[in-house]
Amino acid sequence: MSDDFSKQVRELEWRVTQLTHDLIHDPLTGLKTRAYFEEQFGVYLANLQATEGGTQRRENFGYKNLSIAFFDIDFFKKVNDTHGHDIGDLVLQKVAETIKMSLRGEDTVSRFGGEEMVAGLLGADEEAAAAKADEIRQKVENLVFDNPSALKVSVSAGIATFNDSLSLKDLIKQADQALYQAKQTGRNKVVRYSELKS
């Protein structure tokens, strides 16, 4: 095999790897795409719900729980309107990085749309998911920006946890409803879906 041919093969392999990466990652934040998240966590949820001979396969799957944390940057439109879209993009990137770095390798976070980000937490029950979301909320609240240095950012979050009857769409909807409650009751807070029913 000639050196030129080997070089062309390596370049082609690199391009395929790059295209695969780009296909499942949001170009601005580097988070997974919504489509990737929905496909991956749809599989996880199906594994939790699957039965074989009437017995749950959760032990084989390795997780008994799955929770969704739905994040939204508070007053993001005001950041864009006041400071411009370049600063808005920076805020999105820093919040995304904060969420991503706060999670474990087996968890997945995606940019769901606009300033909304969704984290799937494998093995986390509602209490653990709420604690993790609040830890992230506090980290975001303490983010420091060089320019403008006075800029302060916060997030609201909604939590929903797996149960046997839920589809992924239902689980995300519950987390979104909890998020809406967090935003309606003061923002910069975490609300669990179970709290809406009490």
Place of tokens 């950012």: 153
In the residue annotation, 11 being an active-site residue is answered as no
Residue 178 contacts residue 70 (beta carbons within 8 Å): yes
Catalytic residue (one of 11, 13, 97, 115)? 115
Task: Please name the residues in contact with 159: beta carbons below 8 A apart, sequence gap of 6 or more.
Answer: 67, 68, 69, 70, 126, 129, 130, 133, 175, 178, 190, 191, 192, 193
Task: Please name the residues in contact with 65: beta carbons below 8 A apart, sequence gap of 6 or more.
Answer: 48, 122, 123, 124, 125, 161, 162
Whole-number Å distance between alpha carbons of 156 and 178 = 10
Catalytic residue numbers read 115
